[in-house]
């Protein structure tokens, strides 16, 4: 199975380039992949953009799960972007590409996309929420801490949003925002 190939490649590459915690094991990586795959039921667009892809733990499993969708892995750290390109090649993912730059640069170049930006642990979710508010993207789906969402609640009060619990994790949620106003 391609997931096993990806996990083995990620852990081997992690020995020389810090992609995930050095304490990561096959089991902990599989838990993270399972959490990433929880996003499948909330995705409604043909384009998925993984903001701050890192080792690809969000975007690569989604690309493997949705061969019919286009997946762009956005990573500004070049050694991580290099890994992502190698992983895409190793897995023969025809629907995935890497953008070596910031999510802001990617979205500014695109102007407007009818796609979904996904992210896990993105440091400034305010930046991502702003792209929904400005209708640059159709939807944003995050795996994040509830406290981070609380910080932006006033800013996104008129944006359609939903939170979903991640079983066995009280410190993480799936948070979805769509650029459809609650007032409509």
Q: Is 0.85 surpassed by the pTM of this model? A: yes
Measured CA to CA in angstroms, residue 103 lies from 13, 20, 72, 76 at distances of 24, 20, 10, 8
Residue spans of the chain under pLDDT 70: 181-184
Domain boundaries, the chain: 2-181
So what's the pLDDT on residue 184? 42
Q: Which CATH class is domain 2-181?
A: alpha beta
Interior/surface letters 91-111, b for 16+ CB within 10 angstroms, e for the rest: bebebbebbbeebbebbeeee
């Amino acid at each position: 199975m391609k997931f096993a190939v990806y996990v083995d490649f990620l852990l081997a590459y992690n020995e020389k380039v810090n992609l995930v915690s050095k304490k990561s094991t096959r089991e902990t990586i599989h838990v993270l992949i399972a959490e990433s795959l929880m996003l499948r039921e909330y995705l409604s667009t043909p384009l998925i953009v993984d903001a701050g892809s890192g080792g690809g733990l969000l975007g690569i499993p989604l690309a493997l799960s949705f061969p019919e969708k286009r997946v762009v892995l956005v990573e500004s750290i070049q050694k991580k972007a290099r890994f992502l390109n190698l992983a895409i090649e190793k897995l023969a993912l025809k629907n995935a590409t890497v953008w070596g730059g910031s999510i802001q640069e990617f979205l500014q170049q695109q102007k407007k996309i009818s796609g979904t930006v996904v992210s896990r642990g993105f440091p400034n979710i305010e930046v991502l929420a702003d792209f929904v508010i400005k209708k640059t993207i159709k939807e944003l789906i995050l795996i994040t801490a509830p406290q981070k969402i609380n910080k932006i609640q006033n800013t996104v009060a008129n944006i359609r949003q939903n939170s979903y619990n991640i079983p066995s994790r009280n410190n993480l949620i799936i948070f979805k925002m769509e650029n459809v106003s609650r007032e409509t």
